[in-house]
Structure 1
């Protein structure tokens, strides 16, 4: 790509150190400290090892959690994840069995639940939620960890704003959702998640946006980046839901190059990430003929069945881990060529693959294979 070629921070050479931050073990009082003191306190909690990396399966111990904490998380998830299913079933009942008054009541309820105000990214209410007991309990429920190599996290702090690219989607990207409070409050980077427009209007599910999210619309993301806020996005989107596979990790981003184009046009660095556990937090069903996927893409919404514990819309208590890769510097190119877009897109996939392979053994995923489709 000549003078416009992007570069990685050190390319994908063998790391000299590996690091792990177990969010679930962080003391509550840390969140009351000023940010600089908090960073120092967090740094003391980081587990590190040399170039040999963490031993296989050494980071697989689930977090301790009380039954009251676990119940609170399950209740919150039942509201957020059960909301779409409940409103869908209630809507069918109203349409086919309800009176005109009951149909009108359903429409009013659905409208209120879809549009009532929520905290915006960066707001005081959003900040309180990030540091809330519920968030800390969710970290325990999912034994949430962040892994990285060398000084990759410090490089991210120095390079804001950037775009985090963190597949796979799964039924719900819990690793990415929990990364919003983790990156803001533990790592000290201003950060918002990007979600599909329809999520902001989906009863129940939209409450998860209260952590601080922007829409995945290009203009909305550019506004966030323009005010110095980092943005995280799932490159596989709705398509990723329909690639959930219990034997392999399938990431539907091989031909989805819009993010590379956006990064080049804005000269925004990219951080490759892999979200371990997103694909096993729920079980799901969709038809093998691709009918539900086609409908979902057409309507920009997800239509499929999902379930977790006790066949309810409560996620399984699985371990969720976010692995952060090396930042990729991207030059600003107002009109990037197809070659430039392809090269950056391929580099993204290569770095995501590298990040996956470097960290999968220590969390017990050594038998898993990542495949881009």
Structure 2
């Protein structure tokens, strides 16, 4: 029998009597949070420590040579590592929420595909777990498809962390990188792109309507047309429920500041919290809230070497209609709220 949480003031502390499996799941969530929020900082200071406080400076020289030699890998299809992707740790992490990958239509491996993932959430946990690891059975549900998850090129700058992301099958989200993969004559290539990006992360608030940053995002449509990659809409129900973000309505000083910083650095500063390892009230672990990643029906795309604005707009309208339909058809079963609403901006 599991004890109830202990409340001290406004803080709910986790009970001592917790089954081992739940402890393993929490450990996995702690690991992911550390690698996401704190490992990058460690990457910045580690080289300085090695140079000035150890005698292993030569290791950095060897790595620097490899780094320069391997620099273009994120733009050339990446280097997924099946051992890393199939680690049991990822299974525990998926069970923590839990995360489920839902297939609603066949996606045959005789084409290349550009999967559009929505919403971004704070850190796109549903996208990474579903398509960057084997935790939710992506290889069994979509056999013969080779998945790569696209992310900002800046994420590959830091040493060591770069290798960690590449091992998950992550690639640069730039146009050159996407076209390199999707133009491959060996069919069955599938790139997953979180289309709303950092701007959409500002809208990740639990219990509120899902606001997608999509109307002006047409670069992915052009990539689909120039490569002939079929588009696949994907919606992660529950992605916005994982953290509590500081209120930042459009027009507020907070939103203005966030957009200003993003304009300068390209990174959106989010102020948020989740739960902790030993408490349920604050910390940087995501809440235990289910995520259902629903994959929709592919939208056929004919290859056009130089698409016109009209062709781009027409396909974009079809895509917006498809993601809206996917949301409406599945919200009753998978949405956290019965009154779930989708707004496309």
**What TM-score, normalized by structure 1, do the two folds share?**
0.69
- The answer (yes or no) to whether the contact 1:147–1:359 under 8 Å persists in 2 is no
Q: Is the 8 A contact 2:195 2:214 kept in 1?
A: yes
Do the aligned residues in 2 keep the contact of 1:129 with 1:211 (CA within 8 Å)?
yes
The reply on whether 1:164 has 2:115 as its aligned counterpart is yes
Tell me whether 1:339 sits opposite 2:339 in the alignment.
no
Structure 1 alignment gaps of length 5 or more = 1-63, 92-100
Shift of 1:356: 0.8
The secondary structure found in structure 1 opposite 2:332 is coil
Q: Verify: 1:237 aligned to 2:237, yes or no.
A: no
How many angstroms apart in 2 are the aligned matches of 1:76 and 1:253?
32
User: Shift in Å at residue 289 of structure 1?
Assistant: 3.8
Question: Which residue number corresponds to residue 295 of structure 1?
Answer: 261
**Distance between the aligned counterparts of 1:72 and 1:224, measured in 2?**
35
| Cα distance per residue 1:319-363 (max 9 Å; x no partner) | 111111111111111221111111111111110011111111112
Higher helix share: 1
**In 1, distance between residues paired with 2:166 and 2:101?**
21
In 2, distance between residues paired with 1:258 and 1:83? 32
Matched residue, 2:89: 134
**Counterpart residue number, 1:199:** 155
Runs of 5+ consecutive residues of structure 2 not aligned to the other structure: 1-18, 277-281
Secondary structure at 1:290's aligned position in 2? helix
Q: Distance in 2 between matches of 1:352 and 1:205?
A: 33
Q: Quote the Cα distance in structure 2 between the aligned partners of 1:224 and 1:253.
A: 23
1:182-203 Cα offsets, whole Å, 9 max, x none, are 4335532211000011222358
Partner Cα separation in structure 1 for residue 78 and residue 139 of structure 2: 10
User: Are residue 173 (structure 1) and residue 139 (structure 2) matched?
Assistant: no
Quote the residue 1:4 is aligned against: none
- Relative to structure 1, the CA distance from residue 265 to residue 170 in structure 2 (aligned partners, 3 Å threshold; closer, same or farther) is same
Query: Which of the numbers 266, 288, 297 marks the counterpart of 2:227?
Result: 266
The answer to whether the 8 A contact 1:84-1:203 is kept is no
Counterparts of residues 219-234 of structure 1 (less than 5 Å): 219-227=176-184, 228=187, 229-234=189-194
Counterpart in the other structure of 1:255: 216
Count residues in correspondence.
294
Give the TM-score of the pair, scaled to structure 2.
Answer: 0.74
Q: Which residue of structure 1 aligns with residue 327 of structure 2? A: 356
Distance of aligned partners of 1:356 and 1:203 in 2 relative to their CA distance in 1, 3 Å threshold: farther
User: Deviations for 1:180-228, whole angstroms, at most 9, x for unmatched residues?
Assistant: 2343355322110000112223589754553111110111111222344
* CA 1:215–1:185: 2 relative to 1, 3 Å: farther
Summarize deviations over 1:4-32 as a string: whole Å, max 9, x none.
Answer: xxxxxxxxxxxxxxxxxxxxxxxxxxxxx
Distance 1:65 1:349 in 2: 44
Alignment of 1:1-373 (within 5 A): 66-83=21-38, 123=79, 126-149=81-104, 152=105, 154=106, 156-180=107-131, 181=134, 182-184=137-139, 186-188=141-143, 189-201=145-157, 207-227=164-184, 228=187, 229-246=189-206, 247-285=208-246, 288-310=254-276, 311-365=282-336, 366-373=338-345
Q: With a CA cutoff of 8 Å and minimum separation of 6, indicate the structure with the bigger relative contact order.
A: 1
**Cα distance 1:65–1:196, how it changes in 2: closer, same or farther (>3 A)?**
farther
CA distance in 1, matches of 2:39, 2:86: 26
What do the CA deviations read for 1:282-333 (whole angstroms, capped 9, x no partner)? 2223653422223224322232223211332211111111111111111111
